[in-house]
Structure 1
Amino acid sequence: MRVFGSSAARAALVGNNGLSIRADMLHRISALVTLLGLIIAFAFLNSAFLSLNNAMTILLQTAVIGLLGIGLTIVILTGGIDLSVGSVLALSGTAAGLLVKAGLPVPVGMGGGLVVGTLCGMVNGFVITRLRIAPFIATLGMMMMARGLALQLTGASPVSQLGAAFGWLGNGALFRIVETQSNGLPRMVFPGIPYPAILLLIVALAATYMLKRRQFGRHVYAVGSNEEAAHLSGVNVNHTKFAAYALSGFLAGLAGIVLMSRLVTAQPNEGVMYELDAIAAAVIGGASLMGGVGSISGTMIGAFIIGILRNGLNMAGVSAFIQQIVIGGVVIGAVYVDQLRNRR
């Protein structure tokens, strides 16, 4: 009887996994159809939307949200949430700017910013796993502390005059072609592929490989699907959660460095509400707030939906306040679809 029961349980598990995979795939396909629909709609409203320069602008603007979204996806897969990524972004970018301003080489300063972001994520992981504080409250506290620390360190003022080298990562591009005209002025022939977009692609591929092919990724999905069952199966639940929040902090730090490099100024007020865009990207892409369901590819689709929506509405002359209303409605719709999927 035990053998029969075990076989039945395995069959049920396989069936449930198959249904989950099909539902996740269907959600990603619907998100991709939505993305294509937005591109067609905005191209019809404004012919400049499909221009090469605008496409590169969208890539550049989406890179930061995409990096944050990857970190949020890993955390959400464990059944948690991280509300601190926007503030950690600001603190990490500010720390990098202050270190460069103090005379350290740009790579060292940026490395310091990454360390700051990772430490913030580790603190989140420690508070959640050891002090047993709910992720919502723990990361909400970190959100306020990181923002306050960034403002305190800078006196709420931007850190400027960081040098051209500081802006190389955020403003550089691969295959950029510039020619000199007869009047001696430069003319952009091809804007090139922005370095932040290339960085996003590398991080997305690495995260996908980690989640799909490595033991840590299997543990992440197991913890989010059923924490108790994962524990009984020998998964170190606390270690998995701690690592997920540390990775989220690291990627928030990386996003902060990219953003501050674009501005060539460290702004302690940057990153406000970015955590909501990142959560929206993950949810729109199919990640379930219940945990255990989601993918990096889906999050990338969600990030581009957010980026294209903002870009297209800007080109259409829609105010930033209306944009917030529209994106808020999109998030509510995505969460509602997620609830329907969980009920089934």
Structure 2
Amino acid sequence: MAKTPLDALHRRLGARMVEFAGYEMPLQYQGIMAEHHACRTKAALFDVSHMGQAEIAEIEAFCHLVPGDITGLKPGRQRYTLLLNEAGGILDDLMVANLGSHLQVVLNASRKAADVAHMRAHGVAVTTHFDRALLALQGPKAAEMLPEATHLKFMDAAPVTIEGIDCIVTRSGYTGEDGFEISCAGFDGEALAELLLAREAVPAGLGARDSLRLEAGLCLYGNDIDETTSPVAAGLGFALSRKRLAEGRFLGGAALIKAQAEGTAEKLVGIKLDGRAPARAGAEIRLPGGGRIGRVTSGVFSPTLNVPIALGYVRSDCTEIGTALELIVRDKPLSGQVTSLPFVHHNYVR
């Protein structure tokens, strides 16, 4: 398995390591619950160096592959967008920052090689920087711990020097909290992490990252979205530019326009369960006493809400808030109901 530039640090900190997307990654250090609460109340530090970082110099060819308005993205700003196939399915979701001379893109770890091959096959010149480190400092005290970047607003992106380390910093993240994602050379990654830990950031692993993103109602590629998923069904309409949809001149555009006009058979919803037992990915969703209407794609016991929560696709006529559901776990029905997203309010600094 591959290792990130922070591998030695994880082991010194006593992390429990697991395989994820071909990498050895920390699942937890002192416990998922403690790390989750540290992010919600203070600030947690995540190693996300397994994600793929790349550079794109020519914007026009790239724009043909995404439904977001990248040509309208001003220098120093970042945007969430989607790589689509001809059928309008999601090949990946990614972050794109305009750094003036080029675009910086961050790709999901499991998809980065396929993404680069897809973009190059469609005439996009991509320079990969998969050897760089990427750290996520997340939580209400993140700005106190990174005063060098407090001038950034939500979804800003800029070069920042942190105690002599050259970085690219974006004010964004995957937890629903204020925070920063910090890119630097791989050989500087461990020093940067130790600096932030010395400022009292709490090391956190994949376990807390998953429970945090699920509380925030954020999709995980491979679970909640994949190449068979329409952004319309996944509730990702905010990532679709009205102007771009009106023109339809991007890969998958015709399929997206049709999905918006006609609707989709299923839609992604949030679900709160009664009791204490969570429903994991793959659990069948039914109407009480009725037949199957969908499936769970992500599920966890919410440390913040102290109840089990889940994301899942259900039949489009069963998405109304408050709709009673049964989720089948070990052949037993667990009662729950459709609820609004996010489960936990976002605390981004606007």
Pick the structure with greater CA Rg.
Answer: 1
**Which TM-score applies when normalising by structure 1?**
0.23
By relative contact order (CA 8 Å, sep 6+), the higher-ranking structure is 1
Would you tell me which structure has more strand in proportion to its own residues? 2
Would you tell me which structure has more helix in proportion to its own residues? 1
